[in-house]
């Protein structure tokens, strides 16, 4: 098989909330079933997370509430500083430098030019009292595009692409339905054609028919644009629909990785077996 | 006829952690070979592990032991060992699979479901949809239904969508699990014709079927999987034996 380098290589990524001590990682994890260090009471949100992601691939992250899924993605998007570990991103210095250790300016550059994020809560990803177009403009401005005409054209194109009626461009997302707010978030995340997109529980809280439409949209965009994505969801239906491979997390650790259909049909780890059987 | 697949000692034991680590045999020590343009039927009683064999080869299941050497476009690989990344690529380009039951994506039309796999191969959209329509038509799915989700289809119609979806890519290796189980005679014939058409083009086919007549029509050889109970120990062992067919 022709060998190709991963778009993203993550190694031993950890995020500890609290002062941390030498026992933090050994006394937390799936074996003890907790992510709270019993010595210093720090929270080991995730630790020892390693994986490769290839261009065009969609990687799912599943696991119970509190298992560290969002933290993992937030570290990679620089919303939250990683405590330890490395991440090599092909789009940044050809994957030769650890992006987690680069300067604040470089991080801002990577985040605005090379990544997109869709948050579970639209309030986190959108300024609800800015117009939909304005929200998209914000991302374009951050990436150094200042030409007003160009910005409006691109915003219109993106809204069309995410099936938001154009006449809503100058309206406030505060008054949009949940599904439409997520579409605007997706449009914003895709604004600069980023090589890597994160989706955190993108359909949680939407009613079922709206969910289906958003998922359908993501799938279409993925095929059309060849997006590379990390998709967090506790909904195995979403995972089955969108992803090729999956990381299963519990108590801040990855307990199993595999092809999506394999994880769902023949889970190996006791925790994954429980997870899958409880969601059938 | 060049050999394309050689399966050696394929074994799958499920470990059920929710049942205290109970072990269940999926299939045991299965060996066979398959050539290009050959159809190997797999027969045997319910629960004997026929689907398991296919799923291990497709990597939906993690095999416990054995090898499955496959001659890909880029050389011979052991399907049970190659990295996930490569399996995804092989599935996209070379290996098709028709599961026993269709798993449908809500809201996506049957036409789109069928076209999906060639779209992923980079086929242009209108030509992909035309090809999908041609297959659905051939398989007797009325045109009025193409825009509906297969979730709304009858069992037999769903199965035809399932077959169309895999066949459309003209794979080098095709794994079929009961492709004709819920079909009426005419639809069954159509599926047989499609299989034989692929065979002509060199596709190697593994076909699990309960339907003796079906296998007689399309299979070159048949692999029987069987359980042999041992009255003394109460243990059940499995064996596989092969019968040349045509
Ligand atoms: N995912 C699974 N987890 C646990 N046990 C399984 C799983 N899949 C199959 N098995 C077990 O493996 C054995 C073989 O099952 P398999 O589905 O391969 O049978 P089959 O020959 O295809 O049956 P049928 O003809 O009824 O479709 C059965 O004992 C079954 O209960
Ligand atoms: Mg079966
Ligand atoms: Zn500690």
A193-202 confidence digits (pLDDT tens): 999 999 999 8
**Residue B131 structural domain:** 104-170
Asked if B151 is an interface residue toward chain A (Cβ–Cβ < 8 A), one would say no
d(CA A31, ligand 2 centre) in Å: 35
Strand B65-72, strand B75-78: pairing: antiparallel
CB contact under 8 A, A270 and B17: yes
Task: Give domain status of residue B151, yes or no.
Answer: yes
According to DSSP, the residues that pair with A52 across neighbouring strands are A9
CA nearest B109: which of B138, B156, B144?
Answer: B144
Which of B42, B44, B51 gets mutated to test ligand 1 (max ligand atoms within 8 A of its CB)? B51
Task: Give domain status of residue B118, yes or no.
Answer: yes
Task: Give domain status of residue B158, yes or no.
Answer: yes
**From the CB of residue A169, how many other CB atoms can be counted at a distance below 10 Å?**
19
* Res. B235 pLDDT band, cuts 50 70 90: very low
B147-178 confidence digits (pLDDT tens): 998 988 988 899 999 999 999 999 999 999 99
Radius of gyration of chain A (CA): 19
B171 lines ligand 1 (CB under 6 A): no
Task: Give domain status of residue B141, yes or no.
Answer: yes
Residue A225, pLDDT score: 87
Most confident of A1-5, A90-94, B121-125: A90-94
- Minimum CA–CA partner of A1 in chain B: B74
Task: Give domain status of residue B119, yes or no.
Answer: yes
Residue A265 contacts residue A242 (beta carbons within 8 Å): no
Find chain A residues with C-beta within 8 A of B85's C-beta: 52, 54, 57
Residue B242, pLDDT score: 63
- Minimum CA–CA partner of A54 in chain B: B85
DSSP string for residues in A209-247: HHHHHHHHHHHHHHHHHT--EEEE-S-HHHHHHH-SEEE
Closest C-alpha residue for ligand 1 atom 11: B26
The count of structural domains within chain B is 1
Task: Give domain status of residue B85, yes or no.
Answer: no
Average pLDDT (B225-246) is 54
Residue B229, pLDDT score: 47
CA nearest A53: which of A8, A98, A94, A13?
Answer: A8
* Res. B195 pLDDT band, cuts 50 70 90: very high
**From the CB of residue A60, how many other CB atoms can be counted at a distance below 10 Å?**
26
Find chain B residues with C-beta within 8 A of A277's C-beta: 18
Task: Give domain status of residue B164, yes or no.
Answer: yes
Closest C-alpha residue for ligand 1 atom 3: B14
Q: How far apart are CA A8 and CA A11, in angstroms?
A: 10
Kindly provide the ipTM of the predicted complex, given to two decimals.
Answer: 0.89
Helix, coil or strand: residue A48: strand
Where is pLDDT greater, at B234 or A192? A192
Tokens of B229: 């109970």
CB contact under 8 A, B62 and A268: yes
Task: Give domain status of residue B192, yes or no.
Answer: no
According to DSSP, the residues that pair with B18 across neighbouring strands are none
CB contact under 8 A, A268 and B18: no
Closest C-alpha residue for ligand 1 atom 16: B49
- With a cut of 60, say whether residue B232 has pLDDT above it: no
């Amino acid at each position: 098989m022709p060998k190709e380098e991963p778009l993203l290589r993550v190694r031993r990524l950890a995020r500890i909330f609290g002062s941390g001590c030498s026992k933090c990682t050994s006394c937390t994890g799936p074996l003890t079933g907790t992510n709270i260090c019993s010595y210093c009471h720090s929270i080991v949100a995730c630790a020892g997370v390693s994986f490769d992601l290839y261009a065009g691939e969609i990687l799912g992250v599943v696991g119970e509430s509190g298992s560290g899924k969002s933290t993992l993605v937030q570290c990679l998007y620089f919303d939250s500083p990683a405590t330890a570990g490395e991440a090599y991103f092909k789009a940044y210095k050809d994957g030769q430098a650890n992006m987690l250790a680069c300067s604040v300016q470089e991080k801002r550059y990577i985040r605005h030019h090379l990544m997109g994020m869709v948050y579970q809560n639209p309030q986190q990803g959108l300024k609800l009292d800015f117009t939909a177009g304005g929200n998209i403009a914000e991302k374009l401005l951050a990436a150094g595009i200042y030409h007003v005409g160009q910005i409006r054209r691109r915003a219109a194109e993106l809204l069309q692409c995410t099936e938001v009626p154009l006449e809503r461009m100058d309206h406030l997302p505060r008054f949009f339905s949940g599904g439409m707010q997520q579409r605007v978030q997706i449009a914003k995340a895709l604004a600069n054609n980023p090589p890597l997109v994160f989706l955190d529980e993108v359909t949680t809280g939407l009613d079922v028919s709206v969910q289906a439409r958003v998922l359908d949209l993501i799938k279409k965009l993925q095929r059309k644009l060849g997006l590379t994505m990390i998709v967090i969801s506790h909904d195995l239906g979403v995972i089955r629909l969108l992803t090729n491979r999956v990381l299963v997390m519990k108590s801040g650790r990855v307990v199993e990785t595999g092809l999506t259909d394999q994880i769902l049909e023949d889970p190996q780890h006791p925790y994954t077996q429980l997870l899958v059987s409880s969601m059938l | 006829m060049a050999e394309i697949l050689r399966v050696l000692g394929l074994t799958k034991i499920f470990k059920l952690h929710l049942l205290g680590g109970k072990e269940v045999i999926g299939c045991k020590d299965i060996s066979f070979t398959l050539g290009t343009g050959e159809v190997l039927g797999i027969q045997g009683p319910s629960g004997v592990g026929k689907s398991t064999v296919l799923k291990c080869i497709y990597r939906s299941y993690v095999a416990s032991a054995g090898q499955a050497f496959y001659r890909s476009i880029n050389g011979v690989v052991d399907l049970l060992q190659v990295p996930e990344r490569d399996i995804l690529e092989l599935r996209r380009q070379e290996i098709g699979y028709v599961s026993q039951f269709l798993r449908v994506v809500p809201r996506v039309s049957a036409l789109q479901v069928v076209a999906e796999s060639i779209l992923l191969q980079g086929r242009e959209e209108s030509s992909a949809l035309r090809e999908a329509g041609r297959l659905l038509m051939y398989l007797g799915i009325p045109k009025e239904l193409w825009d509906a989700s297969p979730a709304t289809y009858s069992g037999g119609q769903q199965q035809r969508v399932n077959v169309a979806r895999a066949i459309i890519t003209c794979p080098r290796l095709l794994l079929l699990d009961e492709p004709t189980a819920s079909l009426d005679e005419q639809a069954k014939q159509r599926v047989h014709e499609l299989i034989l058409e692929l065979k002509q083009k060199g596709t190697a086919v593994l076909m699990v079927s309960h339907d003796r007549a079906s296998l007689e029509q399309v299979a070159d050889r048949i692999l029987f999987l069987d359980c042999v109970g041992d009255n003394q120990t109460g243990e059940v062992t499995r064996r596989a034996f092969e019968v040349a067919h045509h």
